[in-house]
Amino acid sequence: MTRLVSLVLIVALGLLPMLARAVEPDEILDDPKLEARARAISANVRCVVCQNEPINTSNAGIARDLRILIRERLKAGDTDQEVLDFLVARYGDFVLFKPPFKPETWALWLAPFVIFAAGGAGIFVMLRRTGQRDTAGPEKLNPAEEEKLARIMQSDNPEAES
Mean pLDDT confidence for 138-153: 87
Is 15-100 a CATH 3.30.2090.10 domain?
no
Taking 70 as the threshold, does the pLDDT of residue 3 lie above it?
A: yes
Mean pLDDT confidence for 55-65: 89
Using alpha carbons only, how large is the chain's radius of gyration in Å?
34
Mean pLDDT confidence for 112-138: 84
Taking 50 as the threshold, does the pLDDT of residue 49 lie above it?
A: yes
pLDDT at 20: 46
Helix (H, G, I), strand (E, B) or coil at 112: helix
How far apart are the C-alpha atoms of 121 and 131, rounded to whole Å?
15
How far apart are the C-alpha atoms of 110 and 101, rounded to whole Å?
10
pLDDT at 135: 59
Beta bridge partners of 54: 46
Mean pLDDT confidence for 19-30: 63
